[in-house]
């Protein structure tokens, strides 16, 4: 029953038929306009059900860079609730296996679900006890299939994941987005990082002639520089981040650190020209 | 009684706006304006201003002009980089340049950068953002070097280093990493070139070459195509057809130029009375 008197007395709307059991042709192209409609309260077969959501609590960019002897990743400790800096101690870099780190940007609840999925996979692998362990490229393939499958069901995990690791002496760095697009490269940056940090990372790789000519120290300096630029220009970032380093020796996720920033650059300027 | 007289209407005429949005709702496809995609930058260094721009103009996904000029002349001491709709940036800067010249002749003085900025922002605000011109205005006047950004809706910023256009984030990442106050000329030009190149190689709306303009209190240097990082490679083979590839069966040559000879009939002068 429609409880709003203002809606009474109008001619019956063709595209809403609450007693219909067939799909009504006129619904094509019209998206559902409310959560309750999606959830199915009072909706009949006339509407397609969709799950495609929007991210709620989100993390911003994750960066990754290959260097001589391993991979280094960076992500800040902020989970935003729209424009509110809601959770300021979130670890968006997660150690998955002895030589693999997962970085997550996008919806944080989907990230927590994926962490649970990966933990389950690692436990299964451990229980199988057959001498094999899941290496970084294997975890990457598993994650890619999960993401693509969800996208194909029109119910994506709203994240861009970065997976970095080392297996059999070879370093690995790749990203998978919410549509299930996998992308491997010597430098990875998600979100705003793809616009602000990727040019810097690519330029460094070009001038030095490849990841084999970047030392661990260099890589740390480059990523810190990128995190500084991101803090300056990404309005949903924070000056508190962690670095994850994966080498033959294993995974080290640093304590939260911050970069020096300069805000007095326009001290002598007054006004905006009026 | 005076209210019955037709009132002079100033500003932009929005009468068609309702019609346009109704047609848009019905699925009308509007023609795509040529945009400049673009990476434009400006910075203040020790002796003045350095402006930089890429040279690609796009019409949707197509490159309309591979080597256009995005740094426009405003006054002998002022240049303006333009991003957004190409026609708008071109005509707006030309109009204000002309207004500035008249102003200069009227006052008898060198134009001030803030004057150009005010003329530009007042015009763009009047048109409520319908003129898609996003500008970086730089120049040196009696009060020193000045650098402004002007947005299509008419807001302005006064800053020591700025970037605009689709490649602005790539260029800004370079500036935020390496900008310092009071740089030397060579350092400043290199930084501007690197910022534009970051836009050229990481943004699809920007490409081709780097234009640079250096403005000081003494003079202006227009360095058109300062860097050309995208020159076409030399073709490995010659693809010209050898004469005789197509057999000539018959040839006939006709002279299309008529030959005239003029013979004077009398020696009298022309009568021009």
Q: Alpha carbon of B213 to those of A49, A128, A140, B150: distances in Å?
A: 57, 67, 48, 18
List pLDDT tens digits, range B218-256.
Answer: 999 999 999 999 999 999 999 999 988 999 999 999 989
pTM of the model: 0.81
List pLDDT tens digits, range B4-44.
Answer: 666 666 666 777 878 888 887 777 776 666 665 899 999 99
Rounded-to-integer distance, Cα B213 and Cα B145, Å: 14
Tokens of A144: 């890619």
Residue B98, phi then psi, degrees to nearest 5? -65, -40
Mean local confidence (pLDDT), B56-75: 93
CATH architecture of A57-253: 4-Layer Sandwich (3.60)
Of the pLDDT bands very low, low, confident and very high (cuts 50, 70, 90), residue A16 is: low
Is pLDDT above 70 for A91? yes
Of the pLDDT bands very low, low, confident and very high (cuts 50, 70, 90), residue A249 is: very high
User: What is the pLDDT, as a whole number, of residue B263?
Assistant: 87
User: What is the pLDDT, as a whole number, of residue B272?
Assistant: 86
Q: Rank A6-20, A51-65, A197-211 by mean pLDDT and report only the highest.
A: A197-211
List pLDDT tens digits, range B128-158.
Answer: 999 999 999 999 999 999 999 999 999 999 9
What is the least distance, in Å, from the CA of B176 to any CA of chain A?
A: 6
Q: Is B122 on the interface with A (CB under 8 A)?
A: no
Of the residues B38, B93, B115, B156, only one is catalytic, namely B38
For the question of residue B38 being annotated catalytic, the response is yes
Interface size A-B, in CB pairs within 8 Å, comes to 64
Any bridge partners for residue B223, and if so which? B212
Of the pLDDT bands very low, low, confident and very high (cuts 50, 70, 90), residue A18 is: low
Residue A44 in contact with residue A16, Cβ under 8 Å?
A: no
List pLDDT tens digits, range A180-192.
Answer: 999 999 999 999 9
Average pLDDT, chain B: 91
Least confident of A35-44, A90-99, B27-36: A35-44
State the ipTM, two decimals.
Answer: 0.79
Q: Is B83 on the interface with A (CB under 8 A)?
A: no
Q: Which of B190, B173, B135 shows the shortest CA–CA distance to A189?
A: B173
Least confident of A225-229, A267-271, B199-203, B210-214: A267-271
Interface residue of A63, A273, A274 to substitute, partner B, most B CBs within 10 Å: A273
Of the pLDDT bands very low, low, confident and very high (cuts 50, 70, 90), residue A43 is: very low
Q: Is B57 on the interface with A (CB under 8 A)?
A: no
Domain boundaries, chain A: 1-48, 57-253
Of the pLDDT bands very low, low, confident and very high (cuts 50, 70, 90), residue A127 is: very high
């Amino acid at each position: 029953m429609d409880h709003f008197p203002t809606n009474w007395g109008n001619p019956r709307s063709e595209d809403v038929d609450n007693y219909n059991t067939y799909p009504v042709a006129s619904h094509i192209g019209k998206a559902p306009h409310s959560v309750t409609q999606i959830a199915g309260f009072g909706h009949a077969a006339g509407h397609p059900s969709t799950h495609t959501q929007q991210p709620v609590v989100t993390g911003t960019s994750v960066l990754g860079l290959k260097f001589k002897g391993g991979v280094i990743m960076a992500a800040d400790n902020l989970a935003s609730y729209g424009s509110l800096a809601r959770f300021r101690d979130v670890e968006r870099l997660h150690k998955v296996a002895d030589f693999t780190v997962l970085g997550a940007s996008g919806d944080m609840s989907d990230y927590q679900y994926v962490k649970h999925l990966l933990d389950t996979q690692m436990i299964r692998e451990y229980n199988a006890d057959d001498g094999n362990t899941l290496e970084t490229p294997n975890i990457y393939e598993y994650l890619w299939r999960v993401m693509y499958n969800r996208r194909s069901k029109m119910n994506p995990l709203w994240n861009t994941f970065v997976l970095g690791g080392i297996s059999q002496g070879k370093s690995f760095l790749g990203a998978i987005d919410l549509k299930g697009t996998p992308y491997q490269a010597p430098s990875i940056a998600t979100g705003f990082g793809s616009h602000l940090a990727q040019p810097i990372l690519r330029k460094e790789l070009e001038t030095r002639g490849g990841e084999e000519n970047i030392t661990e120290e260099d890589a740390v300096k480059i990523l810190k520089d990128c995190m500084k630029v991101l803090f300056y220009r990404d309005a949903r970032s924070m000056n508190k981040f962690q670095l994850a380093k994966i080498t033959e020796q294993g995974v080290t996720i640093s304590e939260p650190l911050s970069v020096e920033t300069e805000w007095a650059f326009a001290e002598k300027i007054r006004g905006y020209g009026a | 009684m005076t209210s019955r007289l037709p009132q002079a209407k100033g500003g932009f005429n929005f009468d068609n706006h309702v019609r346009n949005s109704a047609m848009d709702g019905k699925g009308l496809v509007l023609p795509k304006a040529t945009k400049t995609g673009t990476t434009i930058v400006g910075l203040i260094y020790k002796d003045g201003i350095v402006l930089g721009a890429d040279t690609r103009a796009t019409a949707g996904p197509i490159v309309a002009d591979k080597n256009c000029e995005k740094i426009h002349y405003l006054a002998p001491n002022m240049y303006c980089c333009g991003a957004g709709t190409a026609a708008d940036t071109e005509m707006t800067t030309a109009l204000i340049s002309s207004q500035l010249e008249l102003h200069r002749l009227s006052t008898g003085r060198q134009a001030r950068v803030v004057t150009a900025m005010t003329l530009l922002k007042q015009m763009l605000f009047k048109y409520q953002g319908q003129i898609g011109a996003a500008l970086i205005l730089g120049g040196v006047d009696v009060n020193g070097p000045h650098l402004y950004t002007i947005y299509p809706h008419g807001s302005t910023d006064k800053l020591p280093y700025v970037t605009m256009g689709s490649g602005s984030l790539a260029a800004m990442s370079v500036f935020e990493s390496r900008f310092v106050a009071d740089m030397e000329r060579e350092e400043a030009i290199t930084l501007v070139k690197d910022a534009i190149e970051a836009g050229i190689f990481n943004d699809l709306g920007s490409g081709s070459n780097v234009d640079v303009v250096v403005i000081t209190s003494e003079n202006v240097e227009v360095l058109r195509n300062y860097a050309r990082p995208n020159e076409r490679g030399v073709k490995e083979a010659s693809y010209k057809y050898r004469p005789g590839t197509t057999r000539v069966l018959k040839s006939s040559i006709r002279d299309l130029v008529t030959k005239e000879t003029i013979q004077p009939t009398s020696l009298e002068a022309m009568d021009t009375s």
